[in-house]
Structure 1
Amino acid sequence: MKADRADLLELTPEALVALANAGFVKRAQKEMAEGKAPALAQDADGTLHATYADGTRTSLAAGRSLRDAACSCIASGLCRHRILLVLAYQQSCRDGAGAAQPAHDTAAVAGEGARAGLDESTSDSPGGNADRQPAPSSDTVAEAGTPAGGPWSPADFDDAALQAALRPATLRQAVELARARPVAKLAGWRAQAPAPTAHLPMCTVRFFSRHSLGHARCDCQEGGGCAHVALAVWAFRAAAARQPGQTDATVEIVPPEPDGIDAAARLADAQVLRALAAAVDALAGQLWAEGSAQAPLALAPRLGLVRSLAADLGAAWVSADVDALAAQLRDQDSRSARYDPRRLLDALAGLQGRLAAALWAADVADGTGTARQPQPLLPARQILGLGIKGEVTLDHLKLVSLGAAMWADGGHPGAACGAAIAFADPDTMGVVALERSWPKAEAAAPAVPLAQRRIVGNPLGKLAASQVVTRAARRRANGLLEIGSGTRQTNVLPLSPQAWNDLRPPLAFATVASLRRHLAQAAPSCLLPRQAIQHLHVLSVADVAHWGWDAAAQTLHANLMDAEGQCCLLRCRHSSGMPGAVDALAGLLRSAEAGGDPVLRVAGTVRVLGGALEMEPLAVMTQARAVVLAAQAANATTLPAGIAPPPAPHAALAGNALALLAQWLREGLRNQRPTAAERARELSAALARAGLEGTAQRMEAALAGLGGGPGASVAADWWQLVLWLAEVESAALHPVPG
């Protein structure tokens, strides 16, 4: 057998899982281990033919992807025979090369490559066409089925390769998409992650072969051979042109042809952006002056103007910020359990910060900024979310639950309840959320427990503790997920104790230090895409120590210790929407403390407070089971008393200042008594005594507008102060001697 199909030789089991599905790969590996490999033949043009014992024949032409292979079996799309052809070809090339060291033991690989033993779903999405096929090196043959060679980049694919792999209509579609100048976040080749990846605004493209674009995998409905593959290649080219050899980058995709956007159109966009920033500042001025508790009708005109301008500009993340702000205002007015004064404060400051950063980045890009200004962290288009579609239909998708958050209002009129289930995509390490809400039942009607309400044909509690395999999913720009109700297209399987094993950075981390570094290196939240669930991660746990119940704060806290002995503080707050969460977590901690079922991983939302990592848990993975805390029934039990360690002094001071600002935003500056300024100046003096003179000066400057409500300049001071205090609250600062 000639070892001239380099694209097939470098396909690892993980790549085959991504290109097909885990069920096909697991079964194919099992048949290889049982000696049921097909008989292979190869034509002069490189076409491979496989003949199986049952008479099935499979053919794969040179330069074609797995989706383009022809098979005589009854499957309408991908099947295990295509995977068996690749595995048998790799084995044949290894045997022919006489490698000194045997390759993977197929039985062992079957356990590693299969992901959760999913069923053999099929797919009929179109694949790519032929592209370049250089002859493989002897190293590639010896290591068939493993990551071969050194670093490489999809930028190496030239125009001829794109034209051979993609249809002309697909390339024209890619050019049209590129004219919107979307922004891509690139993750280059690494030895531990050898598939270069392009995170586009609405989908993710991974490159599993340095020799063939046919094996590029996109999570859109087409699955591969789509316009997104061309966009990803152009993004890697742009990164290589800007800084050769750079592994990771965030770049704006420029079409290969002139996009025809003239200076007048760019000027019009700039004018809309400035008008939008002015409208947001006016809205912020009204909120700060009169308070967020004012009648919704008083805010409706300004909110409507901001929404209209954001839609005219096509700024997806600005629209999402406005929606988040409006939702908090509605929740406050309806006395919903979802209202949080601090979250409202952050939403308003983040919206103003995003627009200010975008204006600055646009000025620097246009050359109108000063020469001494530093380069912006991100392009203005990415900060604003320009050129992003509303939603995208996804291909065959596997999702793994990371837990759920449930909420329930009190008994007031208009009360509601709801839930958000967090899912991880093990292929892209992305997080999506499935949200639902329902009006609470009338007093005379029997109340349906929240965990028993049905989503996608399943009880909420069951779905929150499941793995989902579906071909009926649509994802919105903000990470919200919709799944069709067709049972034939969606399978729901229990969440096994091994379900999180394949999760890796930037979603799952083995140590507290690595997760803290990831959070520290991320751009400020106001510059990142607005997502339904922010900062959700999985952390590995070596031990749990010093846990207890703080009755005053209604919070169960525990110290999670990693393998390096570093600590993450776990905080589980009691909530009426999740009455059994605290009891369930206490039972897990008590069992682990007694030497029973140990806690191995915890999933939850994380933040850094005073340099220390804190997590609000959603789900816990032990050695024997997976537990979604919100889905557990309440079980009254006696909890050991304990008080969480206080945050660092500077973090506590910054938190107190932010709580005071959140109160002022709710009440309005014009409604404050003279004692309000005295309290703020006491806080300012305490900040100065703690060595935070710059923060104290910023607070004093903002207080200048406390008397009669802020004008435009003072409104800007307030959002800058909020963002500054948030950074101080999270920073790891050392106390000042003396």
Structure 2
Amino acid sequence: MLAAALRRTARSLTAASLHWPAAVTAELSDQLAAHTARDAAHDPLRHAALLAELHARHRAAGRTPGVLGEREVAETPLRRVRLTALGCRLSGTPEHPVTQTFFAHAEAGVVVVLHKTWQPSDRPWGSRRVLGTTLASLAAGSVVSETARRTASRALTLTRGRLAVTTVTPLGPTAWSELPSTLLVRDLAAHAAEWDGRPPRLVRPRVEAETVRVVEVSEVTGIGYDPAAQRLEATVLDAAGNTALLSAPHEPMAPAALDALAAALADGPRYVAGALHRDGGGLRITPYAVAGPDHRGGTGGTGHPGSTGSTGSGSQSGSGTVDAGGITVPHLSAGEPANLPLLPGSPPPDRVADALGSALAALADAAHQGLRHLTGPVRTALARSADDLARTGLAVCATAVRRLLDSLPGPEDAPARWADAQIRLLTTAELHRRG
């Protein structure tokens, strides 16, 4: 009943052009469905964040322009559009795997995302078929389509028809270097400064892949693997010597991804495509594709009208690498895991991040159980989290959690105070990551 009500609400919000609350409500419905099915896709932390986002957008409505997405067009047809692939990311679970393939729409200066949910299979990811070609070719190719559509959140739809065609060809050697400055980062410090003035994520436009960019690289140093965190890290330098931390977590569904990434980084790449985030005062890159030293950019190979697929002798179908520009897509790379160089040591603990993380986990547990039915352990966790926040100097956050505890189990004040605490902690955690 509740899931159906959420879906109806999402449709009503979309009809009213309130696209961002509609997207939140739809995602909440998905979380509820996953919980009901006992699916691993249910994430209590994500569920709590979505509840807070609805409250935050409602409170900011009328004061923050665009917070509801009412100025966005629900869907935009893209006539005869050329898209430049920026790699692919695997996510989901083995039972419900999902791929996100990223494309630069250079004319609009934005990144769009093609989502696809797959059936479980033993086939290598790079060789799986989509739009008449392999996923590896699509994730490292140039797409020309007459049937593309883009949603308000920049999700992409591509279809094949008898009259309107979609062609996929290998990227040329200058494809990434010719991207506009909105998508190609040559100065990491300037890019970080531009993003410092953004509003918090809870009230920003709900744009997919908003942080995905191509970074021009002059040098890569310090490649290593952290076995405790199951993460590959390296330092990336731009031409001015500014640095960013490239950090790639292990993905169980792509066991060879980190090995392929380490090899690509060791070859001296020219570009890295991925999501850029502020982290501890610097930038962190989650890579989706790497262009080798011979990649200088272009528009890709040539295809025949009416055909869909990869052409050109440089294409290695299913491998996750396209030699036409030396593009490596780690999550689609085949092969067996190999030994990676270990990082020299673990970073020092971050007491502020730990305190915020514990408090957000306690608030998520409270939302999961229901504020009227909290058990003793959850109350204890909330009280302990408030004390930890106070000890780390986050007095206002600590007060917000204690106000929630003082209101329990009151049915009137408790929900608003939970939202107060969740919004404040999420925003504080985001600001702390920015440094």
**With structure 2 as the length reference, what TM-score do the two structures score?**
0.83
Higher helix share: 1
- Asked if 1:600 corresponds to 2:270, the answer is yes
Instruction: Output one character per residue of 1:374-411: Cα deviation in whole Å (capped at 9) or x when no partner.
Output: xx341xxx32223644322212211111111123534x
Q: 1:436 to 1:562 in 2, by over 3 A?
A: same
CA distance in 2, matches of 1:577, 1:306: 34
Q: CA deviation at 1:308?
A: 5.3
Contact kept, 8 Å, 1:456 with 1:484, in 2: the verdict is yes
State the 4+ residue runs in structure 1 displaced beyond 6 angstroms: none
Q: CA deviation at 1:425?
A: 0.9
| 2:256 aligned partner | 580
Say which of 278, 290, 293 aligns to 1:620.
290
Say which of 220, 234, 241 aligns to 1:558.
234
| 2:133 aligned partner | 458
CA distance in 1, matches of 2:292, 2:11: 49
Residue identity over aligned pairs, in percent, reads: 30
Q: CA deviation at 1:619?
A: 1.1
Name the count of aligned residue pairs: 402
Q: CA deviation at 1:508?
A: 2.8
Q: CA deviation at 1:576?
A: 2.7
CA distance in 1, matches of 2:229, 2:370: 27
| 1:478 aligned partner | 153
Instruction: Output one character per residue of 1:592-612: Cα deviation in whole Å (capped at 9) or x when no partner.
Output: xxxxx3123222223323433
Say which of 628, 632, 635 aligns to 2:333.
632
> 2:379 corresponds to which letter in structure 1?
A
SS at match of 1:439: coil
Q: 1:539 to 1:734 in 2, by over 3 A?
A: closer
CA distance in 2, matches of 1:402, 1:448: 23
Q: CA deviation at 1:428?
A: 1.7
| 1:282 aligned partner | none
Q: CA deviation at 1:464?
A: 0.9
> 1:500 corresponds to which letter in structure 2?
W
Say which of 423, 428, 440 aligns to 2:103.
423
- Asked if 1:353 corresponds to 2:56, the answer is yes
| 1:717 aligned partner | 417
Q: CA deviation at 1:338?
A: 4.3
Q: 1:646 to 1:723 in 2, by over 3 A?
A: farther
- Asked if 1:467 corresponds to 2:151, the answer is no
| 1:156 aligned partner | none
Contact kept, 8 Å, 2:276 with 2:283, in 1: the verdict is yes
> 1:631 corresponds to which letter in structure 2?
L
Higher strand share: 2
- Asked if 1:405 corresponds to 2:89, the answer is yes
Say which of 195, 201, 215 aligns to 1:539.
215
SS at match of 2:413: helix
Q: CA deviation at 1:302?
A: 4.3
Whose RCO is larger (CA < 8 A, sep 6+)? 2
Q: CA deviation at 1:330?
A: 2.8
> 1:588 corresponds to which letter in structure 2?
A
Q: CA deviation at 1:352?
A: 1.9
Say which of 378, 382, 395 aligns to 1:680.
382
- The within-5 A match list for 1:323-342 is 323-336=26-39, 338-342=41-45
| 1:519 aligned partner | 195
Contact kept, 8 Å, 2:77 with 2:150, in 1: the verdict is yes
SS at match of 2:335: coil
SS at match of 2:27: helix
Contact kept, 8 Å, 1:497 with 1:626, in 2: the verdict is no
Contact kept, 8 Å, 2:147 with 2:158, in 1: the verdict is yes
The runs of 5 or more residues in structure 2 that have no matched partner are 295-325
CA distance in 2, matches of 1:704, 1:499: 58
SS at match of 1:326: helix
Say which of 671, 689, 695 aligns to 2:397.
695
Aligned-residue Cα RMSD (Å) equals 2.8
Q: CA deviation at 1:618?
A: 0.9
| 2:68 aligned partner | 384
Q: 1:670 to 1:689 in 2, by over 3 A?
A: same
SS at match of 1:383: coil
CA distance in 2, matches of 1:655, 1:519: 24
